[in-house]
Every structure is written in structure tokens, then in C-alpha cells.
Amino acid sequence: MTTPKILVAYYSTYGTNHAVADEAARAAREAGAEVRLRRFAETAPEAVVNTQDAWKDQLAAHSDIPDLSHDDLDWADGYFFSMPTRYGNVPSQVRSFIDTCGPIWQEGKLANKVVTATTSAGNAHGGQEATILSFYTTIMHWGSLIVAPGYTDPAVGEAGGNPYGTSIKAGAFDDAGRAAVAHQSRRLTEFATRLVATA
């Protein structure tokens, strides 16, 4: 059986989505996937980042993780994306990268991949659902296939019940959140495996 290739890509300002991505990568590997862990490049000016110690510390904490590239998107059979919400949408760092993907999209290199997404915000009504749903609009333009968690496991409800993708309170990635993320990652890997098997 061919091993599915899963890309886990994240943007993290203070560390929550970095932790989510680590858990997603762990679960995908455990489910039998070959995994690449990548981060969206930081595009905020250094002078802005340096105004907040937590932001500056997080940037240093994942400096060994490669920036996401078009090659990573081409390589993978499935994508697990994790990012915080910004006013009910994805951060500019994520959007900046997505907006460079026109050439590989036109070549059909983003079509027929399986995709899932998670997010975080400072409170339960901080735009989590809107962020994931707006991001999935891009995925539909790509011709990729959305693999939302739905209510396919009790872990989804125990982590807050977001059927579009796990949503975490910033700074509060607990055991319930880890279980939901692991389920979502395994589900993505399962569908990637099916996709590879029929290719």
C-alpha cells in the first residue's frame, strides 16, 4: 500500500497553533502517513513583532521549522492547516502565501487533494467558525476536497463541538483539544490513504 503524504502547515503568533500542528503531525505519523511540518512565513515587520515578547519568543521557538513552499503543496496528498483567526478570517501571513499559489493552481497541482483546517481565538465567539468557513472557500476554488471532522467522534463535542474544524481557545490547548485534533488528523490521513489507493 502506498503511504499517504500529509502536509501540516500552520501560522502561530503565540504558540497555540504551533502546538496544534505538532499534535496533528504526530497523529498523522501514527496513522501511517509521511509528514512534512511547515510554517507560514512571518510577514509582520520585525519592529512590530518585537513590541510583544510572546510573539518574538514564538518566532524564535519555531525557527528550525521550514517555511511553507509551493513544493510542499505539490508533494502532499493531504493538507492539515492550522491558524488563528483575525477578525473572522485567516491571518495576513496565511493569505499572503495563498495569494502566491496562482501558478500552481493553474497547473492543476492543488486539485484533488484532501484538506482540513483548525483555528484558535481568544474566546468562543472570536470568529473561529467564520475563519474556517472562509478558508474553505479558497479550498473549493483549488478543487481540493474538504475533510471536515463533522460529528464523527465524541472528541469533537468534548472540544467544543465545531464540525468544520477544531477550534481552540488561545493559550488553552488541553487534552480535549488534543484528542479532537488527533481525530481530525487521523480522519484526513484516512481519506488521503483512500485517495492514494485509487490513483
pLDDT tens-digit profile of 105-148? 999 999 999 999 999 998 888 899 999 999 999 999 999 999 99
Structural domains in the chain, sorted by start = 5-198 (3.40.50.360)
pTM exceeds cut of 0.85: yes
Q: What is the DSSP string of 13-71?
A: SSSHHHHHHHHHHHHHHHTT-EEEEEEPPP-S-HHHHTT-HHHHHHHHHTTTSPBP-HH
SS3 83: strand
Model confidence over 51-99: pLDDT tens digits? 888 888 888 888 899 999 999 999 999 999 999 999 999 999 999 999 9
> Is-contact 166 11, C-beta < 8 A?
no
Decide if pLDDT at 26 tops 70: yes
H-assigned helices in 42-174: 46-49, 53-61, 70-75, 92-98, 102-106, 128-142, 154-158
pLDDT tens track for 174-185: 999 999 999 999
Q: Is the pLDDT of residue 150 over 80?
A: yes
For the cut 70, the answer to whether the pLDDT of residue 1 exceeds it is: no
HSE, side-chain direction, 13 A CA sphere, residue 137: 8
